[in-house]
Amino acid sequence: MSLTLLLCSFLLIFRQSFSQETLFQLEHEEFLLGTLVEFKVIHDDFGEAQNSILQAVSEIQRIENLISPYIFSSEVYQINANPGKFVKVSSETLELCQKSCELAKLTNSAFEPTLGAVLEKWNFNALEPKKPSQEILDALVKKVGYSKIQFKNDSIKVDFEMKLDFGGIGKGFAVDKAILILKKNGIKSALINAGGDIFCFGKNSEGKKWKIGIKNPEKSDKNLGTVEISDFAVATSGNYERNFVENGIFYHHILNPKTGLPSQTCKSVTVLAKTCELADALATAIFVLGAENGIELVETLEKTEAFVVDGNGNLFFSKGFKDFGFSEGF
């Protein structure tokens, strides 16, 4: 997209004084990483705010061009297209892949970055997705497993019939990288929301912590509640994001890596964490682990909280979740 178009689509929300200071709130939306990414920046210099948003957009585009399994020139595409061979990658792809392996280990493979070949068969992005045959799924899940990814210096190798897919962590990873740019530029307050993977810092337009709605998985135009956070991430994984019905059966995009089938344990999982990458990956993992095991896991992690709506619609909270200004409803 051209610079002119980008600039035109900025929205200046207000110009207001807090403690004798004029602050501008700029909002911008851009289609990135297969979703609409929302940027909000509050700053005392309009030009710097605008420029920082442009840089944040470019950063997410840069990351997407490295890690998308759909972009022919991406490093992840090249790794997947060359099984059995080491493929040299950038420090970002290496970092993402290594962190993904750590998170796979932490979650006992509920979060799995090696589901690419299985996800390709499901093809949730197709106009009319279809459930793959059980034989195909059974054969492909045997190839899944983060411990089979091989690293050598700055190169990565996958096995035949195994592919990488960072769909469960990539948005969080990219949000963190874009936030780093905003912080480096000295931006006072900002929020980036990549389809439910959010990081915010500073204060909102009312001078308070940012208030984030958690969607009701059964009525996605309604909120189950809100949390109030700053310099923190919140990510929600829901079965309402990508799904289809075939022969009366509901299928969605978060798979149990052991079976290759959509996990039925939850309807939505919201995780609060220090980084968006961690919140994103854990939300996906807990969706597979289920409420009880998932909450047990976050209780072992510092500054990490979870809120789960299980498959029957029951709500579960980790001990400290409600301390993040949780209030029910809108």
The footprint of ligand ADP (CB under 6 A) covers: 111-112, 115, 119, 165, 167-168, 171, 195-197, 237, 241-242, 253-255, 257, 280, 283-284, 288
Rounded least distance, CB 220 to ligand ADP, Å = 11
Amino acid residing at 38: E
Q: With contact defined as beta carbons under 8 Å apart, do 260 and 118 qualify?
A: yes
Point out which residues pair with 267 in neighbouring strands: none
Measured in whole angstroms, how far is the alpha carbon of residue 188 from the centre of its chain? 24
Q: Is residue 176 involved in binding Mg ion (CB under 5 A)?
A: no
156 vs 234, beta carbon nearer Mg ion: 234
Closest Cα partner for 26 from 5, 47, 55? 47
Which residue of 64, 165, 176, 280 would you call a contact of Mg ion, by CB under 5 A? 280
Q: Which does 196 bind (CB under 5 to 8 A by kind): ligand ADP, Mg ion, none?
A: ligand ADP
Q: With contact defined as beta carbons under 8 Å apart, do 47 and 10 qualify?
A: no
Rounded least distance, CB 278 to ligand ADP, Å = 12
How far is 60 from 36, CA to CA, in rounded Å?
12
How far is 91 from 60, CA to CA, in rounded Å?
15
Rounded least distance, CB 98 to ligand ADP, Å = 15
Q: With contact defined as beta carbons under 8 Å apart, do 227 and 272 qualify?
A: yes
16 vs 108, beta carbon nearer Mg ion: 108
Which residue of 69, 113, 116, 168 would you call a contact of Mg ion, by CB under 5 A? 168
How far is 171 from 181, CA to CA, in rounded Å?
16
Rounded least distance, CB 153 to Mg ion, Å = 29
Pattern 220-239, Mg ion, x by CB under 5 A = -----------------x--
Q: Is residue 284 involved in binding Mg ion (CB under 5 A)?
A: yes
Pattern 188-227, Mg ion, x by CB under 5 A = ----------------------------------------
Tokens read off for 263:
């996990």
How far is 267 from 245, CA to CA, in rounded Å?
16
Tokens read off for 299:
């209780």
Name the residue with the smallest CB distance to ligand ADP: 167
Amino acid residing at 152: K
Q: Which does 241 bind (CB under 5 to 8 A by kind): ligand ADP, Mg ion, none?
A: ligand ADP
